């Protein structure tokens, strides 16, 4: 039995999220069915994060245990062929130690949120960025974002369906930058609450539009109350960027 680490890119649009669920398509189910056809085994995939419906991934980390002898190339190519036409791609595959776990070994996660900030609606990036036609104040958004960095009770920015045991999280960084006619909000932390990034971005958009002051972000955080949330950004602008692991090279087989 070999434990494989896979790096996966996917368009979250057609899926109800990463996690397998009854009566709805998921990234996990599509991969497990492809792996089953390839190996004749019942293969279970475990990911570094469980993205919501409509959320994309640039490099999701996952692992699976497979008994059939395979090379890195054959596993990646086989899964890419069999998962079609689902918009999922295996970017890399490598064997890792038996105790390596995509979720529990992860020491950091990074997300990116894309806002198309122009008058004309996006066509080529439709479904891949949140369109806000009115100009956004980048400096005010960055000032508001600074209030969220650090160790806080993020109850205000937490979904009512969140299953985390505690609302306390440490946000390592939250930056806002303009890239062409887009605004990119980048977030990094060891782990996030359900809807935390989307909720933070939604409130930052209110700041950028002038509906909230930057200090309103601090007030919402201090309220520790979901009712204080101004806006939850839509899922289609959010991307899982990367999962980080300590001393990953020593964990390879």
Catalytic residue annotation: 52
Tell me the C-alpha distance between 106 and 164, whole Å.
16
For 241, the token pair is: 């960027």
List C-alpha distances in Å: 222 to 30, 185, 196, 217, 218: 41, 22, 15, 9, 6
For 218, how many CA atoms within 13 A lie in the half-sphere containing its CB? 9
CA distance 52 to 190: 18
Reference 84, options 11, 2, 137; nearest CA is 11
Quick one: how far is CA 34 from the chain centroid?
22
What SS3 state is found at 253? Answer: coil
Q: By C-alpha distance, which of 113, 110, 61 is closest to 235?
A: 113
DSSP for 216-232, written as a single string: HHHHHHHHT-GGG----
Q: Is 24 helix (H, G, I), strand (E, B) or coil?
A: strand
Handedness of CA 26, 27, 33, 36 (dihedral sign): negative
Q: How far apart are CA 249 and CA 43, in angstroms?
A: 25
Q: b vs e for 38-58, b when ≥16 Cβ sit within 10 Å of the residue's Cβ?
A: bbeeebebbbbbbbbbbbbbb
């Amino acid at each position: 039995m070999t434990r494989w680490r896979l790096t996966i890119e996917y368009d979250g649009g057609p899926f109800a999220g990463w996690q397998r669920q009854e009566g709805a398509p998921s990234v996990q189910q599509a991969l497990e069915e492809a792996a089953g056809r390839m190996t004749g085994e019942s293969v279970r995939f475990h990911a570094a994060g469980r993205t919501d419906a409509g959320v994309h991934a640039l490099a999701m980390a996952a692992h699976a245990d497979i008994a059939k002898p395979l090379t890195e190339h054959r596993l990646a190519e086989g899964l890419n062929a069999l998962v079609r036409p689902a918009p999922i791609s295996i970017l890399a595959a490598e064997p890792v130690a038996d105790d390596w776990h995509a979720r529990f070994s992860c020491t950091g996660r990074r997300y990116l949120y894309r806002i198309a900030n122009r008058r004309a609606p996006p066509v080529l990036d439709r479904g891949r960025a949140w369109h806000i036609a009115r100009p956004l104040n980048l400096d005010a958004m960055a000032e508001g974002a600074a209030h969220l960095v650090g160790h806080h009770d993020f109850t205000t920015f937490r979904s009512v369906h969140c299953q985390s045991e505690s609302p306390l999280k440490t946000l390592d960084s939250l930056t806002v930058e303009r890239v062409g006619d887009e605004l990119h909000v980048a977030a990094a932390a060891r782990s996030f609450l359900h809807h935390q990034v989307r909720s933070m971005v939604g409130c930052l958009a209110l700041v950028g539009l002038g509906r909230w002051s930057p200090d309103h972000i601090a007030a919402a955080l201090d309220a520790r109350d979901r009712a204080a949330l101004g806006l939850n950004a839509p899922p289609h602008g959010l991307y899982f960027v990367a999962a980080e692991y300590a001393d990953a090279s020593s964990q390879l087989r």
